[in-house]
Structure 1
Amino acid sequence: MKIDNSPARGTRDLLPATVARRDHVLAAIVEVYHRFGYRRIETPALENLDRLTSGQGGENEKLLFKIMRRGLDEELPAGTRTAELADLALRYDLTVPLTRFYGANHATLPSPFRSLQYGPVWRAERPQKGRYRQFVQCDIDMIGEESVLAEAELIEATMAALTAVGLTGATVRVSDRRFVAALAEAAGLDEAVRPAFFIGLDKLDKIGWDGVRAELDGKGLPGEKVGDALERIQKLRELPAASIADALANAVPTLADDVVADLAATTASLAETAGVSWEFDPTLVRGMGYYTGQIFEVAHPGSNSSIAGGGRYDKLIGRSLGKDVPACGFSIGFERIVDLLGDAPAQDSVAVLFEKEVPAARAMSVARELRADGRTATVLGRRGKFGAQLGRLEEWGFTSFVHLRSDDAAGAAVEERPLGAR
């Protein structure tokens, strides 16, 4: 029987050169986050199913990979419900596991707690270019901070991380879920139709104003009230930081003063942060149901989707702890960033080639001396045509080589030569 060696649909194998590029990007991101004081934690890939289906993850809950209970019979009675077959599932993001982690360990953690996580997550997506069923997320969160210090710092740290990996031209889009809800209310949209309005509004960058109007009309939303809401939104785009407070208060007179003050404080901080391009975007909604305040996304001209996103979720941890705790987080779209960056700069790596007459101990000694200087050195036997082997070494990511021959003079200096310039 022929064995199928291809990976599961929607997943992929990663070759050494690809993994090296990903490691390079991840190391640069993590190094920046460490400088801001974020401390890495780890949470399990498996979570209890009831936690992952508690209404915290929005549409992602429909994409769960559920794990069958142990000890099930091979054949099950007719009418057996799915709930009787599974009690665990693979995590679909890192935020829900973080809330459980904090609920269990908060007594031993500093306040505010700056959390850093990275690792694989799983969603039963329809496989397509740029969308995988297993992919890596990288998150930072600040738990226990009520003020907009959390929002401003998370955005600054993430933009610094993107700069560190060499990604330029990104823009932060900022809004607030409380503002979007108040705007819909001021326009006269009933609470029952607001979710449909938010979903339509979130598609603005893909289908344009006319497309949004047509979609909302097709869902039966009142055209006059939708038109009122969209007109208010159009007047609030591309506002400078100094004008945001007054413009919001004029557009939505019922908007709470603290919402206006928080947005004004965050955008003022961003305006003073060198190297950060930002805009207030009243059309930003984000799909997760757990956001309670400010929300943000990072857009890049090379990507049709956001490359990072997050927001405040002050009510989420209370489901684990029994009391609300202020919290805010930012998630980097690691896979999209790696794709945008392309090949990472080659990392210094030396191949120590030795002819078969040269003792292995000699080659290992040369490599040992190179490693003592903090360099990467790999011992390899000489095989085949010399030029072809050097070509393979370059493909494998080596940047230079040393060639040890049997006729080398005793005590002769080792000559290191670069690859790619032979």
Structure 2
Amino acid sequence: MASVNPPRGMRDFLPADKARRERVLAVIRERYRAHGFDEIETPVVEEYSRLHAGIGGDNEKLAYNVLKRGLDADAIRAGADDPAALADLGLRYDLTVPLARFYASHRGELPSVFRSIQIAPVWRAERPQKGRYRQFVQCDIDIIGDGSARAEAELIVATLDTVDALGLDGGSVRVNDRRVLEWMLASFGFTDDEKPGVLITIDKLDKIGPAGVAAELRGRGTTPTAVDAFEAFLTRPQTLEYHPYGERQIRKALPEGAPDEVVGHLVGIGEAVAAARSGDGDVPLVFDPFLVRGMGYYTGTIFELAHPSVDYSLGGGGRYDGMIGRFLGQDVPAVGFSIGFERIVDLIADGDAAAASAIVLVHDRDVPLGELLAIKAGLLADGARVRLEQRTKNLKALLERSAADGYTSFATVTAGAALADLEIKPLA
């Protein structure tokens, strides 16, 4: 028999799971819209050439490609070593590349500073494992057309507000800038050719520590004096005094001589976030000079969402000022922040299934259909959610299943009963 399971790395959702996901998505949409963002929709497929234009980083290697129609066996054999000859479309692997194309297509119809919401599934040919899927939902907000620190601050404030609204207060955002990383590596003596590989190794710092990073760089034949300088910086003596996010914290975390323009941009983000969250005490930002984020299109500020309940990030993003220029021929400033929906939804407490009552009407077989539907219509008019269920021998199992599906109460219906006769009882 053929397998009845979904493809590996993809999932079915039972009604209760689907309802829970939709409740979380509703909160995310509502908070994003409250902050002035507008939702758009793009196709699930994009042109192959666009998805493989060198702007998607490692995700390009994970793209699902769509075979051209009408290819015969000879054409397939001839193109076996050239995917571009076999595919003209592909499933989107993120929402940023489609957004850049969308903006280039509709720029004349959009405001000069465009604040976008995209909430939709994406597909990557990942190796399935716990928490890593081949189909998953991304929740993106982006600001296009604003190159100032205000754009990053708006994204961070909207994201933290959304996380708070979901009951995950206490979140914070780690912040860095790819320009700082580039400057820092150059100051240590790494060559331009070495920098991409060095960044990959730096990204492992939390896992393998300074000694492990230095050993891996030496094992790859990286410039010895640069590795020595970098290791000395990583292991330098440091005081344990606490500094809140700001210029002092940023400069203390970097080698001397960090570029003033970039430091000023980072400080400006913190000042704006502090103004927006003035009643929350310390600004929930942390400067992390070794935050890398692997996407190849980041050109400036990068950030990741952290929460004390887990040891992994719950989202991230950054500035990608060069991407839209690939389509328009001129650069347009752009920055985005994506919430990791699949990770966040697992942390959200169930809470109330619905604001209105949800009632199961358990009826005998002989109750006339017209009577049932009249009672149901009356409850619906009062704003309730209503399900009809014919009484079974195992009433307890029926009610337990209804509770699992989000229903909060039940009533039994006999022939001749009316809405006023119902005795509504809680399911719990």
Q: TM-score, normalised to structure 2's length?
A: 0.91
Partner amino acid, structure 1, of 2:268: A
Q: Are 1:352 and 2:361 matched, yes or no?
A: yes
Partner amino acid, structure 2, of 1:4: S
Give secondary structure in 2 for the equivalent of 1:350.
strand
Give secondary structure in 1 for the equivalent of 2:421.
coil
Q: Distance in 2 between matches of 1:335 and 1:249?
A: 32
Partner amino acid, structure 1, of 2:259: A
Q: Determine the structure 1 residue equivalent to 2:388.
A: 379
1:388 positional shift: 2.7
Q: Are 1:418 and 2:419 matched, yes or no?
A: no
Partner amino acid, structure 1, of 2:154: E
Given that residues 57 and 296 in structure 2 are in contact (C-alpha distance below 8 angstroms), is that contact kept between their aligned partners in structure 1?
Answer: yes
1:161 positional shift: 0.8
**1:281 counterpart (267, 281, 288):** 288
Name which of structure 1's ranges 97-106 and 160-169 shifts more when overlaid on structure 2: 160-169
1:251 positional shift: 2.5
Give secondary structure in 1 for the equivalent of 2:372.
helix
1:401 positional shift: 1.1
Q: Distance in 2 between matches of 1:303 and 1:261?
A: 31
1:31 positional shift: 0.4
Given that residues 236 and 282 in structure 1 are in contact (C-alpha distance below 8 angstroms), is that contact kept between their aligned partners in structure 2?
Answer: no
1:307 positional shift: 0.9
Q: CA 1:312 to 1:244, structure 2 compared with 1: closer, same or farther past 3 Å?
A: farther
Q: CA 1:210 to 1:345, structure 2 compared with 1: closer, same or farther past 3 Å?
A: farther
Q: Determine the structure 2 residue equivalent to 1:7.
A: 6
Q: CA 1:282 to 1:358, structure 2 compared with 1: closer, same or farther past 3 Å?
A: same
Name which of structure 1's ranges 166-175 and 63-72 shifts more when overlaid on structure 2: 166-175
Given that residues 91 and 123 in structure 2 are in contact (C-alpha distance below 8 angstroms), is that contact kept between their aligned partners in structure 1?
Answer: yes
Given that residues 253 and 289 in structure 2 are in contact (C-alpha distance below 8 angstroms), is that contact kept between their aligned partners in structure 1?
Answer: no
Q: Are 1:240 and 2:239 matched, yes or no?
A: no
What is the correspondence of 1:33-182 to structure 2 with a 5 Å cutoff? 33-74=32-73, 76=75, 78-80=77-79, 81-182=82-183
Given that residues 362 and 411 in structure 2 are in contact (C-alpha distance below 8 angstroms), is that contact kept between their aligned partners in structure 1?
Answer: yes
Partner amino acid, structure 1, of 2:326: R
Partner amino acid, structure 2, of 1:181: E
Give secondary structure in 2 for the equivalent of 1:175.
strand
Q: Are 1:258 and 2:267 matched, yes or no?
A: no
Partner amino acid, structure 1, of 2:255: A
Q: Distance in 1 between matches of 2:112 and 2:351?
A: 37
Q: Are 1:329 and 2:336 matched, yes or no?
A: yes
Q: CA 1:174 to 1:209, structure 2 compared with 1: closer, same or farther past 3 Å?
A: same
1:365 positional shift: 2.0
Name which of structure 1's ranges 128-137 and 385-394 shifts more when overlaid on structure 2: 385-394
1:374 positional shift: 2.3
Q: Determine the structure 2 residue equivalent to 1:400.
A: 409
Q: CA 1:389 to 1:271, structure 2 compared with 1: closer, same or farther past 3 Å?
A: same
Partner amino acid, structure 2, of 1:372: A
Name which of structure 1's ranges 120-129 and 391-400 shifts more when overlaid on structure 2: 391-400
Given that residues 353 and 363 in structure 1 are in contact (C-alpha distance below 8 angstroms), is that contact kept between their aligned partners in structure 2?
Answer: no
Gaps of 5+ in 1: none
How many residue pairs match? The answer is 417
1:257 positional shift: 2.5
Give secondary structure in 1 for the equivalent of 2:11.
coil
Given that residues 164 and 170 in structure 2 are in contact (C-alpha distance below 8 angstroms), is that contact kept between their aligned partners in structure 1?
Answer: no
Q: Deviations over 1:160-213 (max 9, x none)?
A: 111111123322100100011111111111111111111111111222222222
Give secondary structure in 2 for the equivalent of 1:26.
helix
Q: Distance in 2 between matches of 1:370 and 1:111?
A: 48
Q: Distance in 1 between matches of 2:9 and 2:253?
A: 47
Q: Deviations over 1:280-301 (max 9, x none)?
A: 1111011011111111001234
Partner amino acid, structure 1, of 2:295: M
Q: CA 1:96 to 1:248, structure 2 compared with 1: closer, same or farther past 3 Å?
A: farther
Q: Distance in 2 between matches of 1:248 and 1:291?
A: 24
Q: CA 1:215 to 1:285, structure 2 compared with 1: closer, same or farther past 3 Å?
A: same
Given that residues 352 and 380 in structure 1 are in contact (C-alpha distance below 8 angstroms), is that contact kept between their aligned partners in structure 2?
Answer: yes
Q: Deviations over 1:111-145 (max 9, x none)?
A: 21000001110101001111011111010000111
Given that residues 307 and 337 in structure 1 are in contact (C-alpha distance below 8 angstroms), is that contact kept between their aligned partners in structure 2?
Answer: yes
Given that residues 358 and 404 in structure 1 are in contact (C-alpha distance below 8 angstroms), is that contact kept between their aligned partners in structure 2?
Answer: yes
Q: Are 1:311 and 2:318 matched, yes or no?
A: yes
**1:268 counterpart (271, 275, 292):** 271
Q: Distance in 2 between matches of 1:208 and 1:284?
A: 14
Given that residues 298 and 321 in structure 2 are in contact (C-alpha distance below 8 angstroms), is that contact kept between their aligned partners in structure 1?
Answer: yes
Q: Determine the structure 2 residue equivalent to 1:220.
A: 221
Given that residues 178 and 301 in structure 2 are in contact (C-alpha distance below 8 angstroms), is that contact kept between their aligned partners in structure 1?
Answer: yes
Partner amino acid, structure 1, of 2:65: K
Q: TM-score, normalised to structure 1's length?
A: 0.92
Q: Distance in 1 between matches of 2:256 and 2:100?
A: 33
Given that residues 247 and 263 in structure 2 are in contact (C-alpha distance below 8 angstroms), is that contact kept between their aligned partners in structure 1?
Answer: no
1:244 positional shift: 3.5
Partner amino acid, structure 2, of 1:33: Y
Q: Distance in 2 between matches of 1:145 and 1:218?
A: 42
Q: Distance in 2 between matches of 1:194 and 1:74?
A: 43
Q: CA 1:130 to 1:411, structure 2 compared with 1: closer, same or farther past 3 Å?
A: closer
Q: Deviations over 1:301-341 (max 9, x none)?
A: 44343111011111111111111111110011110111222
Name which of structure 1's ranges 305-314 and 99-108 shifts more when overlaid on structure 2: 305-314
Given that residues 92 and 98 in structure 2 are in contact (C-alpha distance below 8 angstroms), is that contact kept between their aligned partners in structure 1?
Answer: yes
Given that residues 174 and 284 in structure 1 are in contact (C-alpha distance below 8 angstroms), is that contact kept between their aligned partners in structure 2?
Answer: yes
Q: Distance in 2 between matches of 1:349 and 1:116?
A: 31
Give secondary structure in 1 for the equivalent of 2:361.
strand
Q: Deviations over 1:344-369 (max 9, x none)?
A: 54224211222222222222222222
Name which of structure 1's ranges 190-199 and 124-133 shifts more when overlaid on structure 2: 190-199
Name which of structure 1's ranges 336-345 and 240-249 shifts more when overlaid on structure 2: 240-249
Superposition RMSD in Å? 2.3
Q: Distance in 2 between matches of 1:63 and 1:411?
A: 56
Q: CA 1:124 to 1:248, structure 2 compared with 1: closer, same or farther past 3 Å?
A: same
Given that residues 170 and 307 in structure 2 are in contact (C-alpha distance below 8 angstroms), is that contact kept between their aligned partners in structure 1?
Answer: yes
Given that residues 10 and 134 in structure 1 are in contact (C-alpha distance below 8 angstroms), is that contact kept between their aligned partners in structure 2?
Answer: yes
